[in-house]
Structure 1
Amino acid sequence: MGKLAYLLFIQLYPVAAKLLGIFNRKAKLWVEGRKDIFELISAKLSADKRKKIWVHCSSLGEFEQGLPLIEELKQRYSTYAIVLTFFSPSGYEHEKNNRYTDHVFYMPMDSRANAKQFFDIVQPSLVVFVKYEFWFYYLYEAKVRNIPLVLVSGIFRKSQPFFKWYGDFHRGMLQCFTYLFVQTDAALALLQSIHISNASVSGDTRFDRVLEIAEDFKAMPVIQTFCAGKKTVVAGSTWTDDDEALDHYANTHPDHRFIVAPHNIGEERLKECEALYQQSVRYSVYAHDITAGVNANTLIIDNIGMLKYLYKYATVCYVGGGFGGDGIHNVLEAAVYNKPVVFGPVYDKYFEATELINNEGAFAVANALELEEMLDELFDDTDLYEYCAAAAGNYVRSKKGATAGVMQYIYEKRLLTS
């Protein structure tokens, strides 16, 4: 059952993407990015005679998660070239020219022939998958070629096929890994329940990454001017439901400042934000002429890449995604700056959100009224604010070190030569 469903999925996904690509830009990029992909990979790698480390990330978030490890691999094993692949256009398009890796490609869709051809061209000495995405033929090819295959910052839930009665096929994917580093004790216990013993808890490399970002922070004068010492809410990765929960508070508190970074920055979505936030200005307009925002209390961010630094300017951070969809976005990017974090009720898949609440550095709200009450409480109660802000930052700092654990394993097992 599991294998049949998987085979149908890998056959139908490209067809669906091609059809969606007629009117969906992301789907179109997914399809176009894979045209003549093997010719591109071969042309790029044929001139690079170095041994290769292959790192695969689903999308941009997983790249940020894996970046501390990529940097350490690059530094310690400098004679190797790092080949990075993405499944999603949002990852590839944003990082195709990044300075951390040597080659960046779309991952060809999983199939027996594609996996064999990919390994024939790349010939990796080590394969690293970040967090999740389990592509059977690629994993199997690494195993049969006896190439070390490591999962980093893995997270597992009981609802996944690996742990179901019909999950033999998916459990076989896990058996391809040389070693699995997971984020939590609960994830490790799930693996042990299906007799996967080559695993351990290393933590989440995202903690290392957000700490790096915070340490590398550089002032943003335009944002600093907009905030101008005012009480400020930075709302990151918001969806429509998030903005509908926040807009009344923003519209009725003209003396506060609100920086809203929508998850989707398409023109239609930006216009929606402008309609919801009645006293708003786009960042691109304000940065060009700050007088354009003279009557605005809300700055709408219309670019990608700033958010992880914007949280520094918040009094309180609001992280979007918690009122629907798959759940909240990265709460660690906000908490690392010693800021209280607020988000919607859908967060159960994210252990760090639960732990942040338990450590009193974050709060979940069920609706717009609770959100407004929470913001008022944090703004007005100085003792509460300072306690929660410190709790948020201390939680993040207490979790650093996952990258070092993975690197130690690679070194001790001699998976690579210096």
Structure 2
Amino acid sequence: MARRPHILFLNEFYHPDICASAVVAADHLPKIARMRPDWQVTVIAGDRSWIDPTVVYPAAGEHEGVGVIRVNRPAVSRTNLIRRALGFAAFQRSAVRAARVLEAVDLVVATTAPPQGAEIARRIAGAHQCPFVYKVLDLYPDLAAALGKTREGSLLYRRWLAADTRVMRAAARVVSIAERMTERIQTTRGLAVEKVTTIHDGFDASKLSVATPNAFARAHNPSGRFVVQYAGNMGLSHPFETILDAARRLAPDADVLFQFIGDGPQRGQLASHLPEGAQLLPYQPAERLGDVLAAADVCLISQHDAMYDKALPYKIYAILASGRPTVFVGNKKSEIAEWLIAGGAGRHVRQGEPDLLVEAITRYRDRPDERETGGAAARQLFAARFDSELSARKWVALIEELISGPRGV
């Protein structure tokens, strides 16, 4: 019997973790395995939980047709870059060792979780004499410079950029999750157009089941106020100043409730500046996401201005699928701003414009017809472009193309 092609994925986190990269991988990989049951699909991930590093997962398992190998990943701080780098290095060593004992691998796919994931893939692919794919979730070192963690043009930045460019050029294909990011990669790394492709992550709308009655809404908004909701990662690339300023200006309005749901490096600062009457809630279980989004009247997404071509907030897909209008606070060049404006699914406000954010929120509150129209447009946009079944099909087509060619990198 012929050996099944073996596709190996690398991601720092995997199911049941709820960080974006883990959720995307746990969405795409089982779909790929279902579409191509003649392939062996395996993922190597870290053994510690993203949300609670004291939780250690079993070394091996299976998730919806995907083999899962867990390797050592020390518990590290999300804010201390030196400790994070040490943790990444430990994960790299463990992943390479784990892949070395696999009988055969035909393609390696790695992401920027961790940032040097593609270098890990390059080493594993070299050992197995197979191609590898570099999937860019966040573009480094560009993102680090945008957040002030390194200086563009510094020695560290130049070396990091040179290393990233080398591994991109060695990859069989570079896959970006956003068009603006693809354009930046082509410009800053000098890659040919055909070398880089965009596959948006998308989302599985079947995960948005809503309970009747909605226990989340009853617990946190029993009086039925108009809910303005930010739900997700509270990381450094998501500024809150404009949103908090708008929330303070609307605090006297008893009809408006701001909800901040999630965790991340900025949660502490958010807590210390939380306006009167606003709610700060922890991450909710993944199975309650539908209830959480259904409790919102308007959803908010915030992104650092300089990040528009270096990252794309994953939360946009679930919001669109839930049929909620969105106000995006960030750079108008972002694809999210383009989608919302062109599709009639929401509005755009620049960072530092709290008056315009207040205006957008109160308009949605006072015009339920616009809110309903925006929600319907969001669902339509999602169905047409961002169902993750479409994303998985694109991945299958790409993998088919690459494993049918000559082996080696």
TM-score by length of 2: 0.66
1:302 corresponds to 2:267: no
> Which of 377, 384, 388 matches 2:363?
377
CA gap 1:223/1:124 in 2 versus in 1, 3 angstroms: farther
Q: 1:278 aligns with which of 276, 279, 284?
A: 276
Unaligned 5+ residue runs, structure 2?
A: 14-18, 74-86, 146-156
Higher mean C-alpha displacement, 116-125 vs 143-152: 116-125
Q: Is this contact kept in 2: 1:92–1:104, CA < 8 A?
A: no
How far apart are residue 232 of structure 1 and its match? Answer: 1.9
Higher RCO, 1 vs 2 (CA within 8 Å, ≥6 residues apart)? 2
Show the counterpart of 1:104: 70
Corresponding residue of 1:223: 216
Confirm or deny: 8 A CA contact 1:247 1:277 kept in the other structure: yes
1:147 match = 130
Aligned equivalents of 1:314, 1:260: Cα separation in 2: 11
Query: What is residue 39 of structure 1 aligned with on the other side?
Result: none
Aligned-pair distance for 1:170?
A: 3.0
Contact 1:245 1:368 in 2 (8 A): yes
Structure 2 residue matching 1:339: 3-state secondary structure: coil
In structure 1, the residue matched to 2:173 is 179
Q: In structure 2, which of residues 197, 204, 216 is the aligned counterpart of residue 201 of structure 1?
A: 197
Q: Which has the higher helix share?
A: 1
The answer to whether the aligner puts 1:318 opposite 2:300 as a matched pair is yes
Task: Look up the match of 2:30.
Answer: 71
Determine the structure 2 residue equivalent to 1:252. Answer: 252
Question: Do 1:153 and 1:203's aligned partners in 2 also have CA atoms closer than 8 Å?
Answer: no
Task: Indicate the residue corresponding to 1:367 in structure 2.
Answer: 353
Indicate the SS of the match to 1:245: helix
1:334 to 2:335 alignment: no
Task: Supply the distance in 2 between the matched residues of 1:156 and 1:266 (Cα, whole angstroms).
Answer: 21
Q: Is the 8 A contact 1:129 1:152 kept in 2?
A: yes
* SS of match in other structure, 1:66: helix
Counterpart in 2 of 1:54? 8
SS at match of 2:170: coil
1:264 maps to 264
Query: For 2:71, what is the secondary structure of its paired residue?
Result: strand
Question: In structure 2, how many angstroms separate the alpha carbons of the residues matched to 1:227 and 1:248?
Answer: 19
For residue 232 of structure 1, the aligned residue among 218, 227, 231 is: 227
Give TM-score scaled by structure 1 length. Answer: 0.64
State the Cα distance separating 1:72 from its structure 2 match: 1.7
C-alpha RMSD over aligned residues: 4.4
**Structure 1 residues 113 and 156: CA distance shift in structure 2, 3 A:** closer
Q: Tell me how many residue pairs correspond in the alignment.
A: 342
Percent identity, please: 11
User: SS of the residue aligned with 1:404?
Assistant: helix
Larger CA Rg, structure 1 vs 2: 1
